[in-house]
Amino acid sequence: MKTASASYQGWKEGQRLAVASMLGSGLLAAGNVLLGLAGRSTSVVAAGVEFAGDVLASGVVLFGLVVASRPPDANHPYGHGRSETLAGLLVGLILSAAGVGICTRSLQQVSNIHPPPAFYTIWPLIGSIVVKGILSTVKFRAGRRIQSAALVADAWNDGVDILSALAALTALGLTLHDPPRFLPADHYGGFAVGLIVIFTGLLVVRDTSLQLMDTMPEEAFLRAIRDTAMALPGVLGIEKCHARKTGLQYHVDLHLEVAPTMTVQDSHELATRVRFHLRERLPAIADVLVHVEPFPGTLPPPGESSEPQP
C-alpha cells in the first residue's frame, strides 16, 4: 500500500539521520572536551558536555524510531508509533537535565583564578557551529516531511547547540580579548549555554506532551480531511472529524452524513470508499474509522441523487 510504503521509508530515513547525528555529535563532543580541558576553557568544555548528551539523545531517537517501525499487532492495533513520541519526550528531559548540570558547573568555576584560555579553543566551537548547522537543517526538513516528533526534537537540539556554541564563542572571545577584565566571562558563557539548553528542553517536553495527550492537529489538516471526504458522491456532510497522531501518521475518526434512505449495504460501501480514498490522497493518514449517520437537512433534488455512483 502506498501509505505503508511511505511510512516505512520515513522510519528508515529517520533512523539513518539518527545514526549520522550520533557520529557527528560524538566527534564534536570529544574535540570540544579534550581541547577545552587542554586550553582551560569552561565554555568549550560545557559545549562538549552538551554534545555528549546529544549522542545519548540521538540514541534515544534511534531506539524510538526502530520500535515505532514495527507493524501493528494484537496488543497494539494502532501500531507502535507512540514510542517515537516518547523518545522525543525523553530527549526534552535529557536536555533539561543536562542544562541544569552545565549551569551548576559553570557557576562553580566563576570565582576560580586561573590562566586565560588558549586561543586555539575557538576552533572547536567554530567547527561545531558549521556541523550542527548542517545537521539541524537536514533533520528539520526530514522531521517535518515525515511528521517525526522525535526527529524534530533532535533538530531543535542541534539548533540549540548552535546558539550554545555562539554564546560560548562570544564569552571566550571577551576573555581572550582582555583576560584581566573578562576572565569570568568564559564561565558565564558556560552558564548561558546551560540556560539555552534548559529552555529548549522544556519546549520539546511541551510539544511531545501535547501529542501524547491526543491534541488535535492543525485546522488546515482537518479541513483537508473533510474536503477530501466530501468530494465522493453520496457524502452529504461531515458531522464529526477527529484525528490523533500515532508516530508519523494520524488515525482519524470520521462521522459521515448520508441520505436516510440509503441501504445499510450502500452506506457500508460508501464508508469503505471514503476510508481508502482518504488514505490514498492524504499519506499522513494511517487509517480511518468511519461512522455513518443520516443527513439531518433537506435532501438534494432527484436530479442530483446522493446515492453512491458505481
Please say which residue of 212, 239, 256 terminates a domain: 212
Q: What is the pTM of this model?
A: 0.61
22 assigned to some structural domain:
yes
Whether 144 and 36 map to the same domain: the answer is yes
Whether 34 and 165 map to the same domain: the answer is yes
Rounded to whole angstroms, how far apart are CA atoms 40 and 69? Answer: 45
Number of separate helices (H) and strands (E) present in the chain: 9, 3
310 assigned to some structural domain:
no
Rounded to whole angstroms, how far apart are CA atoms 42 and 144? Answer: 35
Whether 289 and 180 map to the same domain: the answer is no
Whether 103 and 23 map to the same domain: the answer is yes
Domain that holds residue 30: 2-212
Beta-bridged to residue 289, according to DSSP, are 253
309 assigned to some structural domain:
no
Please say which residue of 212, 243, 262 terminates a domain: 212
Q: Is the alpha carbon torsion for 155, 157, 163, 164 positive or negative?
A: negative
Cell of 62: 534511534
Whether 189 and 293 map to the same domain: the answer is no
pLDDT tens across the length of the chain (310 residues): 434 555 556 667 777 887 888 888 889 889 888 988 888 787 788 778 778 877 877 787 777 777 777 777 788 777 777 787 888 788 788 878 878 877 887 777 666 666 778 888 889 889 889 998 998 888 888 887 777 777 777 788 788 788 778 877 887 788 788 877 777 776 777 787 778 778 878 887 888 888 788 778 888 889 999 999 999 999 999 999 999 887 677 889 999 999 998 999 999 999 999 999 999 998 888 889 999 999 887 666 554 544 444 4
Rounded to whole angstroms, how far apart are CA atoms 173 and 171? Answer: 5
Contacts 24+ apart (CB under 8 A), 79-82: 79/246, 79/247, 79/286, 80/247, 81/245, 81/246, 81/247, 81/248, 81/249, 81/286, 82/212, 82/246, 82/247
Whether 110 and 249 map to the same domain: the answer is no
Whether 159 and 229 map to the same domain: the answer is no
Rounded to whole angstroms, how far apart are CA atoms 148 and 168? Answer: 30
Whether 92 and 163 map to the same domain: the answer is yes
CATH number at residue 278: 3.30.70.1350
CATH number at residue 152: 1.20.1510.10
Whether 30 and 141 map to the same domain: the answer is yes
Please say which residue of 162, 189, 212 terminates a domain: 212
Number of domains in the chain: 2
